[in-house]
Chain A
Amino acid sequence: MAAPKFGVDARTPLLNPQTRSHASLDSETVKALSGRASWLYQFATGAEAGGTDQQPLVPLTPSGRVGHDHSGPPYGSALQHPLWTIGGVQTISALTRDDGTNYYDSTIAFSIAATNNTIEPVLCARFYCRPFPEYENSPYSRAYLSVAALSASGTQTLKADLWAGDDPDSVQSATTSITDTSWPPQFWNPSTIYWNVKPGWNVHYVRFRCTTTSGVAIYSASANQIVKRSH
């Protein structure tokens, strides 16, 4: 699917027959060349290009600003980055809290194993995504999971189930083998599953399961915008 484009108005290109030798140099030619120069300048810089109506020539970005903000075509190539993060470290004696207990940041540095199938941790992220152009397969329309995890012993099978808060029936799942047993944790970046994202506030869930006996410790996870122009 080709990326969407703005309407033709100020960006109307000329065709070769209009600009070649023996073509008449009419007002449309100079209007298009001059108008498009203004459009490009204003869209690039976000600054007033002067001229016609003292109005922005270009559409506002989805965030309501003048120019391009790299929120995905046609507002510029998107830039990869995390949309939300969650993380922790090992419980170690060298980090302590006020009450003398060992530091345990927080979140998800715990083990899950099939031998205790009541432990199927669900992470919930409430996060803000800046407004973006909404169309099928736009860069910000999807968020992809990244995980850092360790095996308790040998090869373990880790499964992740993802769903968005406003669409609990659309669960997507993937599994992987976790083989690393010593710090630092092993990467997992499943490419076949993703959350849908909407502009503004979102809620994402991910449930982890370990289907083998020894278990997996998950230390960090994130949801990410991973492409520049289209999925």
Chain B
Amino acid sequence: MARKVNATFQGSITQQTDPGYPSQTEVIENAVGDTALTADMLTGDNTPGPGTIDHTGSGLGVPLGLPLGNRAFWVDDQNNTVSYLPRVSSYVASGGAYKPAYLFMIPIYLPTGETSVRLRVSGINDAEGGRMVCKNTSWADAGEVGEAYNAAGKYWEGEARSLTGGSLYFLGMKINVGPVEVVRRWSGVSVYFPGSSGPAQTITPPEQTNANWPQVPVNSQAGASSSVVLNQEDFDASMFADDTAYHAFLTTLTNHNQNALTEFLTGSPACGNAAYTLTSSTGSDPASSAFHDHSVSTHTNEGELDFPILAVPLGATEAASISSPDYATSLWGAPACTSASATVLANDVVMMPDFPDGTSTSRLKCVVLLTSPDGSKTGKTNETIACVTEDSGGVNTSHSSTAITWMGTSDWGYAVRGGSGNRMDFDAGAANQLRITVTDADGASAGVRARWVGYCWYFDGDG
């Protein structure tokens, strides 16, 4: 059988479906072929020519636009006994010229299909003169950046444009430290993509949708563990040869195929139906997933996503080549590790998506950014990071260490854990603890040890 599927979308023109227009086999043929093409692109089955939907834009699904991270810092109680906000009190101790410092820097992975990103510091008391910084993995300035401080709204916001999706960047806020002490406090840092300029089109509430419409059939088939999953009836290309006739098999099953694909794609009941026909085997991490959710369970070739989990700054640091801290009481300075043994740098508890897990399949990655405070990398070659993922049952999985890559001649480095060769397991569709441990075997004095500046966790759909 030569399955009828279009290599690219063909469609029809309005005139071909108008009343009084001669019926043409190619209209139905293209409806069948286009429906099969869409099904293949969603499921990844049959190696669709245009590619598999992975939300990378350019006809492979709209980028998701999920924030790359929302980090909260605000903690208080009625007596301020445990009050905490990041606070950096800064001035040039020796007087004289202003010197630059980074209030914070965060590694991010920009999903493929995105070209710009915003960075907001919420609740900041003073951000006058703050500059947006965006660096690439060569520690060169990347994209076009701009920023603004909204004193009334108590937030500072920067934006970087003309970036390349599917890449690592390092975002942050740079300040000038002068002879007059300034104490800065803030309550949150968000890295996000702004939404639409206007409201989305209104969807019809369910009680107004096809209230009198009869139930429509959805092409389905039995899946594993009592699930009901997508079924698409295939048609032989010979059915559309010259001098062949339309028949009910063709029109009826194409309609049923489209009903099924509607439910699979939208995650809502098909057309006039009050309830789902398709059902997954379980609600969370199902062995057999009935819907398009990139879980790669029922459809093993489904597209995998660039998907952010979190992005976190750890502390302020001086700009390159300033020999010693010039802010007098840096209460939120980036930390140094003084131990050659694994030391927990960060621990987060988060819900993880229902994506492929396991040490041979996971796309989970972690990136940590660090800097050399004395402007020298001499003696700073023995820093490593490692990760631990803990499932909701308390079972820990350790993932071995990764060395630092220093970026060109700069005083900044980063390490990536995860991806091909060192994949990390996690508990899909459940809460996990994500932990980063660091070591520093150089034995340098505390003042010149590398500083751990920020980190992020994400899924790399390609890696």
Q: Is A192 an interface residue (CB 8 A)?
A: no
Q: How far is the CA of A25 from the CA of B197 in the complex (A)?
A: 43
Question: CB-CB < 8 A to B325: which residues of A?
Answer: 98-99
By the criterion CB–CB under 8 Å, are A96 and B271 in contact?
no
Q: How far is the CA of A2 from the CA of B269 in the complex (A)?
A: 7
Q: Which of A181-214 contact B (CB under 8 A)?
A: 183-187, 189, 199-200
By the criterion CB–CB under 8 Å, are B217 and A77 in contact?
no
Taking the closest CB of chain A, its distance from the CB of B281, in whole angstroms, is 13
> Given A25-B246, A33-B31, A82-B310, are A220 and B252 also a contact pair (CB < 8 Å)?
no
Q: How far is the CA of A14 from the CA of B76 in the complex (A)?
A: 59
By the criterion CB–CB under 8 Å, are A128 and B70 in contact?
yes
Q: How far is the CA of A70 from the CA of B282 in the complex (A)?
A: 19
Q: How far is the CA of A11 from the CA of B35 in the complex (A)?
A: 13
Interface string of B184-220 (1 = CB under 8 A from A): 0001101011011111110111100110011011000
The contact of B261 among A5, A40, A67, by CB within 8 Å, is A40
By the criterion CB–CB under 8 Å, are A64 and B200 in contact?
yes
Q: How far is the CA of A82 from the CA of B78 in the complex (A)?
A: 28
Q: How far is the CA of A125 from the CA of B203 in the complex (A)?
A: 30
Closest residue to B339 on the A side, CB-wise? A94
Q: Is A107 an interface residue (CB 8 A)?
A: yes
Chain A interface residue count: which class? Answer: 35 or more
Q: How far is the CA of A34 from the CA of B446 in the complex (A)?
A: 70
By the criterion CB–CB under 8 Å, are A82 and B350 in contact?
yes
By the criterion CB–CB under 8 Å, are B332 and A14 in contact?
no
By the criterion CB–CB under 8 Å, are A8 and B210 in contact?
yes
**B interface: dominant SS:** loop
Question: CB-CB < 8 A to A95: which residues of B?
Answer: 335-338, 343, 345
By the criterion CB–CB under 8 Å, are B205 and A135 in contact?
yes
By the criterion CB–CB under 8 Å, are A125 and B70 in contact?
yes
The contact of B293 among A5, A59, A79, A127, by CB within 8 Å, is A79
Interface centre among A67, A108, A131, A227 (most CB of B within 10 A): A67
> Given A81-B352, A127-B67, A222-B349, are A44 and B309 also a contact pair (CB < 8 Å)?
no
Question: CB-CB < 8 A to A87: which residues of B?
Answer: 312, 346-349
Question: CB-CB < 8 A to A148: which residues of B?
Answer: 347, 349, 433
By the criterion CB–CB under 8 Å, are B75 and A121 in contact?
yes
Q: Is A168 an interface residue (CB 8 A)?
A: no
Question: CB-CB < 8 A to A174: which residues of B?
Answer: none
Q: Is A130 an interface residue (CB 8 A)?
A: yes
> Given A33-B28, A125-B70, are A46 and B268 also a contact pair (CB < 8 Å)?
no
Q: How far is the CA of A90 from the CA of B346 in the complex (A)?
A: 9
Interface centre among B201, B209, B210, B294 (most CB of A within 10 A): B201
Taking the closest CB of chain B, its distance from the CB of A226, in whole angstroms, is 6
By the criterion CB–CB under 8 Å, are A46 and B61 in contact?
yes
> Given A81-B353, A148-B433, are A127 and B206 also a contact pair (CB < 8 Å)?
no
Q: Which of A66-115 contact B (CB under 8 A)?
A: 66-70, 72-90, 92-100, 103, 105-108, 110
Q: Is B372 an interface residue (CB 8 A)?
A: no
- Additional A-B contact list (10), CB under 8 Å, known A6-B203, A22-B248: A25-B23, A33-B27, A33-B28, A33-B258, A65-B196, A81-B307, A81-B353, A89-B345, A99-B330, A126-B72
Q: Which residues of A come within 8 Å of B, CB atoms? A: 1-8, 11-16, 18-23, 25-27, 29-38, 40-41, 43-47, 49-52, 59-70, 72-90, 92-100, 103, 105-108, 110, 116, 118-131, 133, 135, 144, 146-148, 183-187, 189, 199-200, 219-222, 224-229
Give the 10 A-B CB pairs with smallest separation, nearest first: A64-B196, A125-B72, A127-B70, A224-B351, A67-B62, A47-B59, A94-B339, A98-B333, A103-B335, A3-B268
9 contacts between A and B (CB under 8 A): A3-B268, A6-B204, A13-B258, A34-B16, A64-B197, A64-B200, A87-B348, A122-B76, A135-B205
